[in-house]
């Protein structure tokens, strides 16, 4: 069954209760949401992001449930706030839905979004609905940060520090796409279906680290953004990456899916880990390499040789991973 537009908005209003975030004067139901500007402390800056997830580009309905799709689209958007060292305040959600999209599917999608919002202590205070050929989920998030973390202040000698696991989500997507059924792959499927935005680690890095990004497109590409913006070279340490693969079980998963764990970590996206440039160790982060003088991104092999990493990772307008 498919309700009309206004009945659908009422369903969403029920679902997205906006009593979770402070300073929301008006949530869903009017032409726009109204926020109390003093809810952001005077010492804090506002940080604002938008992220769109498109069916067949970011998800397929035969690979993920609508709850998963709602969850991961919200977490992907929130991860950009984490990457700024910001804390989410409130969100807007715009959906494009095909005419045959069922009410129960919309309920599941909204449940996933709402669960993610709740877990991050934020609320969806409005949005938009339109009919479209495919499902798209667009999420804007407004957040606050005392000291927003940019990409451009890494220096030679800083470590590359990572919060969270990398390479697992790409292995999970690989396993889902190839319909690999093996209990040992449940963890990596979950990593792709239910990522977490690392808000806490981002806030910890803010003020301690020099630069921060989130890893949506693979370690090489996203740490490359810091290198490029800061005018330094990023050198990953093969030993550190292999150690991480061992710790997370990615090394044995790599054998199961016949993909080199190093490739999964450097080129596989959507884990939404954070990567920082920092002179000092950061709590909850592991060291993946070093920024040095120069440019580009490289992998230092255990033999000591450096391999340049060109054009690795996801790019919407190039080929896939």
Ligand X SMILES: Nc1ncnc2c1ncn2[C@@H]1O[C@H](COP(=O)(O)OP(=O)(O)OP(=O)(O)O)[C@@H](O)[C@H]1O
Ligand Y SMILES: Cc1ncc(C[n+]2csc(CCOP(=O)(O)O)c2C)c(N)n1
Binding residues for ATP: 127-128, 151, 216
Q: Residue 10 contacts by C-beta under 8 Å, 6 or more apart in sequence?
A: none
Q: Is 144 within 8 Å of 40 (Cβ atoms)?
A: yes
Residue with tokens 């919060």: 163
- For residue 185, the tally of other CB atoms under 10 A from its CB is 19
Alpha helices (H) in the chain, listed in sequence order:
5-15, 66-82, 103-119, 168-177, 186-193, 199-205, 219-230, 238-248, 250-257, 261-267
Assess 68 for contact with ligand Y (CB under 6 A): no
Taking residues 48 to 67 in sequence order and writing x for each that binds ligand X by CB under 6 A, - otherwise, the string is: ---x----------------
Assess 314 for contact with ligand Y (CB under 6 A): yes
Q: Which stretch binds ligand Y (CB under 6 A): 30-38, 58-66, 105-113, 203-211?
A: 58-66
- Cβ closest to ligand Y, residue 61 vs residue 301: 61
Longest distance between any two alpha carbons in the chain, whole Å: 63
- Cβ closest to ligand Y, residue 254 vs residue 269: 269
Q: Which of 87, 214, 217, 271 binds ligand Y (CB under 6 A)?
A: 217
Distance CA 268, CA 271 (A): 8
Q: Which stretch binds ligand Y (CB under 6 A): 51-59, 100-108, 144-152, 153-161?
A: 51-59
Phi, psi of 188 (to 5 degrees): -75, -30
Assess 80 for contact with ligand X (CB under 6 A): yes
Residues at the contact surface with ligand X, assessed by CB under 6 A: 51, 80, 216-217
Residues at the contact surface with ligand Y, assessed by CB under 6 A: 57-60, 76, 173, 216-217, 269-270, 314
């Amino acid at each position: 069954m498919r309700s009309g537009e206004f009945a659908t908005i009422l369903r969403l209003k029920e679902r997205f209760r906006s009593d979770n975030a402070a300073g929301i004067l008006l949530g869903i139901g009017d032409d726009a949401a109204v926020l109390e500007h003093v809810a952001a402390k005077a010492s804090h800056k506002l940080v604002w992001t938008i992220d769109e997830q498109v069916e067949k580009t970011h998800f397929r309905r035969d690979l993920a449930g609508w709850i998963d799709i709602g969850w991961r689209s919200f977490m992907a958007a929130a991860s950009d706030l984490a990457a700024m060292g910001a804390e989410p305040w409130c969100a807007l959600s715009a959906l494009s839905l095909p005419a045959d999209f069922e009410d129960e599917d919309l309920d599941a999608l909204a449940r996933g979004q709402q669960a993610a919002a709740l877990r991050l202590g934020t609320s969806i205070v409005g949005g938009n609905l339109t009919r479209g050929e495919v499902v798209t989920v667009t999420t804007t998030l407004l957040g606050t940060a005392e000291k927003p973390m940019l990409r451009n202040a890494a220096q030679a000698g800083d470590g590359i520090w990572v919060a969270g696991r990398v390479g697992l989500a790409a292995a999970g997507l690989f396993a889902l796409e190839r319909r690999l059924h093996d209990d040992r792959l449940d963890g990596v499927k979950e990593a792709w279906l239910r990522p977490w935005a690392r808000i806490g680690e981002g806030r910890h890095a803010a003020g301690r680290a020099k630069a921060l990004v989130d890893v949506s497109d693979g370690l090489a590409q996203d740490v490359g953004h810091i290198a490029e913006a800061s005018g330094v070279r990023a050198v990953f340490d093969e030993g550190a990456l292999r150690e991480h693969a061992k710790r997370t079980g990615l090394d044995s998963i790599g054998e199961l899916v016949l993909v080199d764990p190093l490739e999964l970590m450097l080129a596989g996206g959507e884990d939404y880990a954070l990567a920082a440039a920092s002179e000092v160790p950061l709590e909850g982060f592991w060291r993946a390499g070093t920024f040095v003088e120069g440019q580009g991104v490289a992998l230092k092999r255990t033999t000591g040789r450096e391999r340049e990493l060109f054009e690795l990772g996801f790019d919407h307008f190039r080929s896939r991973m």
